[in-house]
Amino acid sequence: MTKTILIVDDEAHIRILMEQTLEDLEDEGVELLTASNGEEALGIIQEEHPDLVFLDVMMPKMNGFEVCQTVKSDAATQDTYVIMLTAKGQEFDEQKGREMGANLYMTKPFDPDEILEKAVEVLAIAA
């Protein structure tokens, strides 16, 4: 069964960096999807049911907290593993992320190796 990762960020260069970071996983049969805002992300999550979502917090239309809360409160998508990515490393934001149901919280700038490690761990891929 194909595993899917959704990368959500309103900044194109971040999406590209994330895709480059995770592209080796495509050799393991992982499919990479991207979204540039919260609304688009929610649609993809509800349709594709990705295994893992890297979710930016600050985005137009619908922020990451709203997307996360919607995903986690829907029985069909609540098992989706959500990693919130944000430039805001304050404790308050991390707390809010957890309250919205985020599985993990990572701050930008992120370490690509750490992103890849987390993805491999979450998707249970033998590296």
The reported pLDDT for the residue numbered 72 is: 97
Can you tell me the distance from the alpha carbon of 105 to that of 90, in angstroms, rounded to the nearest whole number?
11
Could you tell me the residue ranges of all domains in the chain? Answer: 3-122
Q: Give the global pTM.
A: 0.94
pLDDT tens over the chain, length 127 residues: 789 999 999 999 999 999 999 999 999 999 999 999 999 999 999 999 999 999 999 998 999 999 999 999 999 999 999 999 988 667 777 888 889 999 999 988 889 999 999 999 999 986 5
Chain Cα centroid distance, residue 114: 14
Count other Cβ atoms within 10 Å, centred on residue 13: 8
CA angle, residues 69, 123, 30, in degrees to nearest 5 = 105
The reported pLDDT for the residue numbered 2 is: 87
Whole-number Cα distances in Å, 85 to 23, 64, 74 = 18, 9, 21
Can you tell me the distance from the alpha carbon of 92 to that of 74, in angstroms, rounded to the nearest whole number?
25
Query: Which class in CATH covers the domain with range 3-122?
Result: alpha beta
The reported pLDDT for the residue numbered 96 is: 86
Whole-number Cα distances in Å, 123 to 5, 19, 33, 110 = 9, 16, 15, 19
The reported pLDDT for the residue numbered 127 is: 53
